[in-house]
Amino acid sequence: MILGIMQSRKEQNRAFNEEVALCSQAFDITVICMVPTDIDWKNNEVIGHYFINNEWRAKSFPCPHFVYDRAFYTNQTRYLLPLVNQFKKKCSATFINHGLPNKWKVHEYLLKTNLFHPYLPDTTFATLEVISPLLDVPSSYILKPIHGAAGRGIYIIEKKEKFFLIHHPTSKGLFSKRMETKRSLNKYLTTIFDKEDYIIQPTLPIRDENFVPFDIRLLLQKNEDGRWTERGRAIREGIQGSYLSNLAANGKLTNYFEWISKKSKVLQSQIECQIDYISSTLPTMLEKEYGLLFELGLDFGVTKEGNVFLLDINSKPGHKTAIFSCLDPKKIYEAPLRYCLHLNKNKEVLAL
């Protein structure tokens, strides 16, 4: 059996892929890494890289039986999508994770279910017409690209008494620009919206007592029985005074259980009940709408009053947070292998 890990670029997720490949020997599964541009349509083969003798080597392989899609289709890599869609039509491989559409479409669906209203930040598709009246009074909003991941492309807009500030967090630091008029702000936003579509949300009070932004990342994966299982949860802390807590923005990981243990018993129960409700209900609802999923990264914000907000849903999450908090990280590496074996034995699941 062959499991192909689909990627946007060859070097993506190298450390994680190596661990999966090392584990695969015990399951009699060949793991190859592949990119959509390395498909031989004429011979129905892929030029994949397999791990042997502590290095990745290129070789032609027949169409894999299963595909673990870890590719990101951003503005820069959107050209890969037609190749992937063609691959799905011409190759009989089963994708173990179909992925989710953009943030705006997922938000609209979650609203339609009427199950998650209290946990969703107020969210609107961002246009100049929408934003303008929001900034008539002092306020603060966050702009997120609908195809964004890892904090990429985020902007924060602040309306002060007599001017505007726009902040752009990056891995190199926080870049800020002051604008005196709404006209100049609109001109700047137009350059952003011309490149990509965005949603806009009010900034939420989810900083700790030291003004450090934080969130909770929770990783869910399917187990060998096809059931959703939590692999780990941890606190991600950003830089004091900044706006983002993800690791790409120089955030750091801390222990969730140490954090929650410092709360009162009432707050502990309140927070964990909300997180457990969302994490136990959401995956099944998403699969009903979007098809087979294998893993989800859920990002939660928590106010000092114990109100939980679902900040983001990642169908292709990173694994650093879960590995940091998991007592047995090997389970995370083995999960896609065990799930492929489950699907191979239970063909009816593929009807999803």
Q: Could you read off the pLDDT of 104-160 as tens digits, one per residue?
A: 999 999 999 999 999 999 999 999 999 999 988 889 999 999 987 767 889 999 999
CA distance linking residue 337 with residue 326, whole number of Å: 18
CA distance linking residue 169 with residue 249, whole number of Å: 7
Convert the pLDDT of each residue in 38-75 to its tens digit.
888 888 889 999 999 888 999 999 999 999 999 887 76
CA distance linking residue 67 with residue 88, whole number of Å: 10
Instruction: Decide: helix, strand or coil at residue 217.
Output: strand
CA distance linking residue 207 with residue 235, whole number of Å: 12
Percent of the chain with pLDDT over 90: 60
What is the phi/psi pair of residue 27, to 5°?
Answer: -110, 5
Least-confidence region, from 77-81, 94-98, 214-218, 278-282: 77-81
Tell me, what amino acid is at 98? H
**pTM, full prediction:** 0.90
Write the DSSP symbol of residue 244: -
Instruction: Decide: helix, strand or coil at residue 300.
Output: strand
Cα 256 from chain centre: 19
Q: Is the pLDDT of residue 77 over 80?
A: no
Convert the pLDDT of each residue in 295-341 to its tens digit.
999 999 999 999 999 999 999 998 888 888 877 889 999 999 999 99
Query: What b-and-e string marks burial along 202-223, b requiring 16 or more CB atoms within 10 Å of the CB?
Result: ebbebbeeeebbbbbbbbbbbe
Q: How much is the mean pLDDT over the chain?
A: 89
Element (H, E) at 96: none
Tell me, what amino acid is at 44? N
CA distance linking residue 319 with residue 316, whole number of Å: 9
Q: Hey, which residues does 178 pair with through a beta bridge?
A: 165
Residue 60 near residue 40 (C-beta atoms within 8 A)? yes
